[in-house]
């Protein structure tokens, strides 16, 4: 089975390459570190996750948790140096992208895996018209003529519902509103109908009413094309609305994984539990908020043992010495809860009270 279509610029029919049992994307034991003047910052420390076609995985974490860095590693846009991937595998349809040549990765990037960035204004080139930037995908990857590429660009803008696309194709990024710019980013990611989209905080810079529009559009297009989606965010609300499964990251590790319904009902890690308790609710007037004490750790000096132990209310001696592995979470009677894992020595107490 070949992953990369080396002969033609036309993408192969969707789904034809799917081998049963092989996830679309699988990340195995990924490590990323940055060599800085002050030492080695360990941004990602052994992350595992997988995404299937049509599935939405939300990677949830605060700033510095390594959620964006792992996405950049998948995309192959990490600054190296100072970044380094000392170990790990990133399997796209079963093939390790980290072992590929630059040429091979370029064939995947944009065509098979595309990315949507947070800040559309700084991700778009201000001196080129949006039509030119959208058309670039077709000119570079598929060798289209300028005229055809422009026609395609208009088609894409219509698909993401930008009104008066034909008239606006020559406009520059600053002439669009924030929500419209984000639509252009989405259009660009969709241009070559990729199998997987990585969206890094796609709606953080937008107002709530526009945020709802953009998330709906993204979900709809995902269904239409049966794409895999990795949604990177810090907003527990956005995740609840769109995700199928969640991976919670803290200090470069995944501390909890679960299907979306489960995690909000019964978190199995004290960090997740604390996060859920610390957000005010729209539909309840609460008393004093629960606050996780302390600060996220410095990646140059990650605490020994469980990285969350200095902020955890349930921390014991074992938490300071032993790094908890991501363990399968079970019901009280021992039956497995599918898809659930927690990296806490005391997940039983956290989950079952």
Partner 1 sequence: MAEQTEPILQVRNLVKHFPLTQGIVFKKQVGAVKAVDGISFDLYRGETLGIVGESGCGKSTVAKLLMNLERATAGEVFYKGEDITRLSGRALKAVRRNIQMVFQDPYTSLNPRMTVGDIIGEPFDIHPEVAPKGDRRKKVQDLLDVVGLNPEYINRYPHQFSGGQRQRIGIARGLALNPEIIICDEPVSALDVSVQAQVINLMEKLQDEFNLSYIFIAHDLSIVRHISDRVGVMYLGKMAEIGSDTAIYEHPTHPYTQALLSAVPVPDPEARDHRERIILSGDVPSPANPPSGCRFRTRCWKAQDKCAQEEPLLAIPERFASADTPVAHDSACHFAEEKDVVGATS
Chain positions contacting partner 1, by CB under 8 A: 62-63, 177-180, 207-213, 215-216, 234-241, 260-261, 264-265, 274-276, 278-286, 288-293, 295-296
Q: Which is nearer to partner 1, 62 or 89 (CB)?
A: 62
Q: Which is nearer to partner 1, 288 or 317 (CB)?
A: 288
Cα separation, 97 vs 4, in Å, equals: 11
Q: Least Å distance between CB 288 and partner 1?
A: 6
- DSSP class per residue in 251-303: TTEEEEEEEHHHHHHS--SHHHHHHHHHSPPTT---SSPP---S-PPPTTSPP
Q: Least Å distance between CB 122 and partner 1?
A: 16
Is residue 269 packed enough to be buried (19+ CB in 10 Å), middle (13-18) or exposed (0-12)?
buried
Cα separation, 101 vs 116, in Å, equals: 24
If you ran DSSP here, which 8-state letter would residue 23 be given?
-
Q: Least Å distance between CB 41 and partner 1?
A: 16
Q: Which is nearer to partner 1, 225 or 290 (CB)?
A: 290
Q: Which is nearer to partner 1, 29 or 224 (CB)?
A: 224
Residue entry with tokens 């049963």: 20
Q: Least Å distance between CB 21 and partner 1?
A: 28
Q: Which is nearer to partner 1, 220 or 336 (CB)?
A: 220
Q: Which is nearer to partner 1, 283 or 317 (CB)?
A: 283
Q: Least Å distance between CB 251 and partner 1?
A: 13
- Output the CA torsion sign for 94, 326, 83, 86: negative
Q: Which is nearer to partner 1, 74 or 249 (CB)?
A: 249
Angle at alpha carbon of residue 107, lines to 102 and 112, rounded to 5°: 125
SS3 for 179? Answer: helix
Q: Radius of gyration over alpha carbons of the chain, in Å?
A: 21
Q: Least Å distance between CB 28 and partner 1?
A: 28
Q: Least Å distance between CB 94 and partner 1?
A: 31
Q: Least Å distance between CB 206 and partner 1?
A: 9
Q: Which is nearer to partner 1, 113 or 165 (CB)?
A: 165
Q: What are the φ and ψ backbone dihedral angles of 113, each rounded to 5 degrees?
A: -125, 125
Q: Which is nearer to partner 1, 131 or 274 (CB)?
A: 274
Q: Least Å distance between CB 80 and partner 1?
A: 27
Cα separation, 21 vs 100, in Å, equals: 22
Strand ranges, E, within the chain: 25-36, 39-51, 56-60, 83-84, 89-92, 95-96, 113-116, 196-200, 228-233, 245-250, 253-259, 327-330, 336-342
């Amino acid at each position: 089975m070949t992953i990369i279509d080396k002969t033609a610029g036309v993408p192969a029919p969707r789904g034809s390459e799917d081998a049963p049992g092989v996830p679309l994307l699988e990340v195995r034991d990924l490590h990323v570190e940055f060599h800085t003047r002050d030492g080695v910052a360990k941004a990602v420390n052994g992350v595992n996750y997988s995404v299937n076609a049509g599935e939405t995985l939300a990677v949830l974490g605060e700033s510095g948790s390594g959620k964006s860095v792992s996405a950049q590693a998948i995309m192959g846009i990490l600054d190296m140096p100072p970044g380094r991937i000392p170990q790990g595998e990133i399997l796209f349809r079963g093939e390790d992208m980290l072992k590929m040549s630059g040429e091979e990765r370029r064939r995947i990037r944009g065509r098979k895996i595309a990315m949507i960035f947070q800040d559309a204004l700084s991700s778009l080139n201000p001196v080129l018209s949006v039509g030119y930037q959208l058309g670039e995908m077709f000119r570079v990857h598929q060798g289209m003529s300028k005229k055809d590429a422009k026609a395609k660009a208009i088609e894409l803008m219509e698909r993401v519902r930008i009104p008066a696309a034909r008239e606006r194709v020559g406009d520059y990024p600053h002439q669009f509103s924030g929500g419209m710019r984000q639509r252009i980013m989405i259009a660009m990611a969709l241009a070559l109908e990729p199998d997987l989209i990585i969206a890094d905080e796609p709606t953080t810079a937008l107002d709530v009413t526009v945020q709802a529009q953009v998330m709906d559009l993204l979900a709809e297009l995902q269904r239409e094309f049966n794409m895999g989606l990795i949604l990177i965010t810090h907003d527990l609300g956005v995740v609840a609305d769109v995700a199928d499964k969640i991976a919670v990251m803290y200090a470069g590790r995944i501390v909890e994984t679960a299907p979306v319904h489960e995690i909000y009902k019964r978190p199995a890690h004290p960090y997740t539990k604390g996060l859920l308790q610390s957000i005010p609710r729209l539909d309840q007037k609460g008393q004093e908020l629960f606050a996780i004490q302390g600060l996220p750790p410095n990646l140059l000096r990650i605490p020994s043992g469980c990285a969350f132990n200095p902020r955890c209310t349930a921390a014991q001696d074992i938490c300071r010495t032993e790094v908890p592995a991501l363990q399968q979470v079970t019901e009280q009677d021992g039956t497995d809860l599918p898809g659930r894992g927690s990296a806490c020595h005391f997940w039983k107490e956290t989950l079952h009270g």
